[in-house]
């Protein structure tokens, strides 16, 4: 039987994409035909289309009543060099009811050499001439960081935090017990971990953080990490404008007042209207809207109702001088048609980066939710608010919600997590028994 090493590293060479730049210069003698020109003067614009590109369609502005338009507009496409990429150029006539196609021409991008700039003349209807300037380059820089190491910002934070912790530990331990702490290299890395479990975990973690803060142990911690309910408390704490000057004791009192409100107040007409407007704006920008958005809004309105616009990136100021521990938020990445026991990747969130340590892939928080292609952002959206991430971090709730609704791609209901876990345990026991039997048969008494 083959043995799989869970700690082995499989190095995959990153392949860079190509940047294809198109500058639409001008067109001459734009025509709708002899009869069409007698009825109306063209209002031309150009549409560029590359089927294999992620952001495949772009267009210029249109000119009213102009047969010799000059655009001088530049567009960029991110391309996969392994695919056959063809540029389709369509000359259009803008109308009030329906735009009219005046002609279409194609250009094989593979005919361009890397680093080459080329001026191309396209002909439409044997009369209209269009001038394009094309270039193709390698996209050597990506918007993702591929590494198993910490980012530079976190490395700098850790060094500053060690210096601060050394003074805190000497004060906490006393002169006699801290005599071995001579340099920052002697400072241990201490992390506080919070468990999941919804509001119950949040309330429990609030009490733990208060005790650690008042005892001085929290000043000796480098990281504070959590998932689900614990991340909700961490979000409330680190997004508070007066933290860390104001400690968990005062913030916990505000938290208690927030969770004590009638939950029906979250569904007043004014708030429902605000929810719908936010969802509509997100949908209009091209981003998907899911139940996580609604769930995150309800959690955010409950816990951070007066700072719904804050983001994960805003937390950088809380750790800019390593004055408090670095918060680490986690959730599970799962597949809709695969059990979370069979496939589940941990995703890490910090004010500096978001990514998966398993794949060594990280991005800055403001790029989370943007559209990527081969490591390059092709469509950047506004950074998701913190309350949306609070909905994402409540991954246990999402799994349970899907199970309650019976979401499944198969007609037959699959086994529950408890049943699958029991099956795996039984298989493991049977496998061990078989191995023991084989050993006994090979070594007779």
Give counts: helices (H), strands (E), the chain. 10, 17
Using alpha carbons, list the distances in angstroms from residue 386 to 227, 236, 299, 330: 14, 10, 10, 14
Where does the pLDDT of residue 427 fall: very low under 50, low under 70, confident under 90, or very high at 90 and above? Answer: low
Instruction: Please name the residue ranges forming H helices in 216-268.
Output: 229-238, 248-259
List all residues 6 or more positions away from 403 whose beta carbon is below 8 Å from its beta carbon: 416, 417
Contact 318, 243 (CB under 8 A): yes
Phi, psi at 65, each rounded to 5°: 50, 55
Topology of domain 152-379, CATH: Cytosolic phospholipase A2 catalytic domain (3.40.1090)
Q: What pLDDT, on the 0 to 100 scale, is given for residue 404? A: 46
Give the SS3 label for residue 2: coil
The strand order across the sheet containing 57-59 reads 57-59, 44-49, 86-93, 100-108
In whole angstroms, what is the distance from residue 13 CA to residue 240 CA? 42
The distance of Cα 331 from the centroid of its chain, to the nearest Å, equals 12
Q: Which residue has the higher pLDDT, 311 or 420?
A: 311
Share of the chain above pLDDT 90, in %: 65
| C-alpha–C-alpha distance, residues 232 and 377, integer Å | 29
pLDDT digits (tens, 9 = 90+) for 242-288: 999 999 999 999 999 999 888 888 999 999 999 999 999 999 998 98
- The model carries a pTM of 0.79
Tell me: the pLDDT tens digits for 31-51? Answer: 988 787 778 889 999 999 999
Tokens of 427: 């298989």
Q: Write down the domain spans for the chain.
A: 17-139, 152-379
Tell me how far apart the alpha carbons of residues 430 and 7 are, in angstroms, rounded to a whole number. Answer: 26
More confident residue, 101 or 438: 101
Name which of 416, 395, 406, 417 is nearest 198 in CA terms. 395
* The CATH homologous superfamily of the domain defined by 17-139: C2 domain (2.60.40.150)
Core vs surface per residue 34-62: b (16+ CB within 10 A) or e = eeeeeeebbbbbbbbbbeebbeeebebeb
Give the Cβ contact number of residue 82 at 10 Å.
Answer: 10
Query: What is the dihedral sign for C-alpha 35, 39, 41, 42?
Result: negative
d(CA 378, CA 57): 12
Each residue's pLDDT tens digit, 362-407: 999 999 999 999 889 999 999 999 999 999 998 544 544 444 445 4
103 three-state secondary structure: strand
* pLDDT tens-place string over residues 120-172: 999 998 899 999 999 999 988 889 999 889 999 999 999 999 999 999 999 99
């Amino acid at each position: 039987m083959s043995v799989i090493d869970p700690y082995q590293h499989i190095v995959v060479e990153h392949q860079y994409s190509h940047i294809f730049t198109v500058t639409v210069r001008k067109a001459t003698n734009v025509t709708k035909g002899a009869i069409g020109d007698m009825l109306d003067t063209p209002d031309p614009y150009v549409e560029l289309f590359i089927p294999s590109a992620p952001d495949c369609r772009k267009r210029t502005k249109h000119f009213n009543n102009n047969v010799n338009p000059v655009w001088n507009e530049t567009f960029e496409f991110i391309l996969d060099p392994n695919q056959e990429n063809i540029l389709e150029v369509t000359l259009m006539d803008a109308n009030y009811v329906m735009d009219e196609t005046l002609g279409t021409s194609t250009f094989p991008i593979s005919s361009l050499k890397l680093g080459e700039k080329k001026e191309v003349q396209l002909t439409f209807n044997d009369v209209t001439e269009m001038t394009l300037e094309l270039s193709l380059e390698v996209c050597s820089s990506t918007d993702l960081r591929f590494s198993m190491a910490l980012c530079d910002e976190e490395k700098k934070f850790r060094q500053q935090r060690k210096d601060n912790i050394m003074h805190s530990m000497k004060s906490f331990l006393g002169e006699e017990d801290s005599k071995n702490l001579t340099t920052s290299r002697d400072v241990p890395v201490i992390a506080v971990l919070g468990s999941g479990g919804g509001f119950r975990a949040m309330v429990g973690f609030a009490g733990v953080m208060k005790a650690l803060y008042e005892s001085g142990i929290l000043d000796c911690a480098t990281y504070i990490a959590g998932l689900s309910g614990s991340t909700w408390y961490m979000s409330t704490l680190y997004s508070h404008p007066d933290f860390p000057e104001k400690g968990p004791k005062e913030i916990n009192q505000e938290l208690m007042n927030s969770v004590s409100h009638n939950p029906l107040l979250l569904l007043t007409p004014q708030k429902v209207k605000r929810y719908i407007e936010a969802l509509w704006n997100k949908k209009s920008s091209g981003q998907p809207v899911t139940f996580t958005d609604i769930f995150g809004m309800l959690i955010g309105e409950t816990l951070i109702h007066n700072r719904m616009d804050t983001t994960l990136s805003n937390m950088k100021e809380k750790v800019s001088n390593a004055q408090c521990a670095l918060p680490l938020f986690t959730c599970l990445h799962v597949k809709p048609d695969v059990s979370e026991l069979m496939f589940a990747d941990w995703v890490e969130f910090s004010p500096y980066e978001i990514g998966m340590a398993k794949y060594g892939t990280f991005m800055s928080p403001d790029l989370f939710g943007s559209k990527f292609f081969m490591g390059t952002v092709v469509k950047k959206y506004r950074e998701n608010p913190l309350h949306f991430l609070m909905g994402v971090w409540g991954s246990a709730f999402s799994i349970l919600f899907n199970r309650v609704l019976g979401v499944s791609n198969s007609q037959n209901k699959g086994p529950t997590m408890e049943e699958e876990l029991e099956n795996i345990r039984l298989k493991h026991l049977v496998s061990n028994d078989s191995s023991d039997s084989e050993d006994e048969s090979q070594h007779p008494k």
